[in-house]
Chains A and B, each alone.
Chain A
Amino acid sequence: MDELIHAFFNWPILKESMPLLIQGLWVTIKLSFFSIVFGIILGLILAVLRTLNVKLLNFFIVIYLDFMRAMPLLVLLVFVYYALPYLGITLKPYPAGILTFTMISSAYVAEIFRSGIEATPKGQMEAARSIGMNYFQAMRFIILPQALKIVIPPLTNNSINVLKDTSLASVIALPELLKQAQQIQAWKANPTPLIGATLLYLLLLIPLVKLANKLEKRMSPK
């Protein structure tokens, strides 16, 4: 029992590693934040462009979406960081991570927004156009605000997934929470820092999961 506590709940080690873990947490938060925000922006643009029904454009958008949704995140991450340099594109871990997470997230966000846009009645667009709004005004003021209400729960879930996935960035030497924990573990030859990281992940994610649940309940018809 003592051995177990010494290995996993070693209080001095946990205390010592906390500052570095917090640094890692902060990197995780920044990485997630930018990936989520850029992913939403890119996904929204793709979804709106797709509604224009321009054949050639949609052809390329659909290829992009299918590709990003089929691609294992870790494979893309490793490719962007370790393979692109051979094409003369060398990215630091941060941009490589944000780029990868943004691209993959944008594909899911685009689908989420598309379903939201499709769920708003066709008459809304017609009414907006009938008072003289152009297509983008109608999107901006009438369709998207209605779609947004529908897509907030799935968008929240997607954001949680992005946040969780950022732990994969440990393979490209990005000092996010998991990477930090692993490094300290190696120094100290003790897994307690991993427990610390786990706790921090849960501390961050459980409120978000709760929030997602709440939003879902509020949106679903009684």
Chain B
Amino acid sequence: MIQVKNLQKKFKDIEVLNGLNFGVSSGEVVVIIGPSGSGKSTTLRCLNRLEEPSGGHIYIEGKDIMDPKANLNKMRTNLGMVFQSFNVFPNMKVIDNVTIGLIQVKKTNKLEAIKIAEEMLIKVGMIEKRDSYPDSLSGGQMQRVAIARALAMQPKIMLFDEPTSALDPEMVDGVLNIMKKLASEGMTMVIVTHEMGFARDVADRVIFMDNGFIVEEGPPSQMFSSPQHERTKSFLEKVL
């Protein structure tokens, strides 16, 4: 589903990603962990080219998205993204947040778009807030709307960048539960998170990054109980 070959990213002269190689197969849930500044967000953002990689190749369903001829906007509809800061659109109602992509990008007709959007809002438990504006929502509610917005595009892959880090503690579980549900439905997901409990329960594979390198990867059972590398061990000791 996703193949990353020798992915590099420099900001000016600073190497942030030093040639990453990894893959994600269909239906797999991959969790990326690592210390602050290790390049987790940058990696995720390269996958839909919100960040322009400096080198390497990224294949999504066999297509090289680094190809200059690649249709970026079409590719992005296949990759839903959820941000730490939600980024819901404050200038439109909840329902319009979810339909806008369908109507403007996929050219879905309005009735059909509303139908899909309502389905997604039901899925994330936000249908009661259908006609509210985002500024009347809590962080957890905004994040659920953001998830519905991404899901409405019917993506094949979902990318999550610390979706619960900006939430009040009592809001975290609601969002994690939605992600668990998605995982159980077979959604392919790449998740950056500090929620180690969630990683242990839901991930098929955990990738540990440090300093722009993938230090180690493996199933959560192995990563959390018997990490191979010193750096992984010391990181996990700090966070667990």
Contacts and interface: CB of A to CB of B under 8 A. Distances in A.
Interface of A: 121, 123-124, 126-134, 137, 141-142, 145-146, 149
Which 7 residue pairs across A and B have the least CB separation, nearest first?
A: A127-B87, A131-B101, A123-B87, A132-B77, A130-B81, A132-B105, A145-B91
- The A interface, classified by DSSP as helix, strand, loop or mixed, is helix
Instruction: Name the residue among A123, A126, A127, A142 with the largest chain B CB count within 10 angstroms.
Output: A127
B149 A123 contact: no
A133 B73 CA distance: 6
Interface in B59-93: 73-74, 76-77, 79-81, 83, 85, 87-92
B146 interface: yes
Contacts of B89: 124, 127-128, 141-142
Given A123-B83, A131-B101, A145-B91, 8 more contacts: A127-B83, A129-B50, A129-B76, A132-B77, A132-B106, A133-B104, A141-B100, A146-B91
A106 B20 CA distance: 48
Given A132-B76, A133-B73, A127 B105 contact: no
B83 A131 contact: no
A52 to B, nearest CB: 15
Interface of B: 48, 50, 73-74, 76-77, 79-81, 83, 85, 87-92, 100-101, 104-106, 146, 149-150, 153
A126 B76 contact: no
Contacts of A128: 89
Nearest to A128: B89
B101 to A, nearest CB: 4
User: Which of A121, A131, A141 has the most CB atoms of chain B within a 10 A radius of its CB?
Assistant: A131
B87 A133 contact: no
Contacts of A123: 83, 85, 87
B70 to A, nearest CB: 13
Contact of B105 (A131, A142, A146): A131
Contact of B101 (A121, A126, A132, A145): A132
Given A129-B50, A131-B153, A141 B104 contact: yes
A126 B77 CA distance: 13
Contacts of A141: 89, 100, 104
Nearest to A131: B101
Contacts of A131: 76-77, 80, 100-101, 105, 149-150, 153
Contacts of B104: 133, 137, 141
Contacts of A149: 91
B91 A132 contact: no
Q: Which of B73, B79, B104 has the most CB of A within 10 A?
A: B104
Given A126-B50, A127-B83, A127-B146, A133 B101 contact: yes
29 contacts: A121-B85, A123-B83, A123-B85, A123-B87, A126-B50, A126-B87, A127-B83, A127-B87, A127-B88, A127-B146, A127-B149, A128-B89, A129-B73, A130-B48, A130-B79, A131-B77, A131-B101, A131-B150, A131-B153, A132-B73, A132-B74, A132-B101, A133-B73, A133-B104, A134-B73, A137-B104, A141-B100, A146-B91, A149-B91
Given A123-B85, A124-B87, A124-B89, A130 B105 contact: no
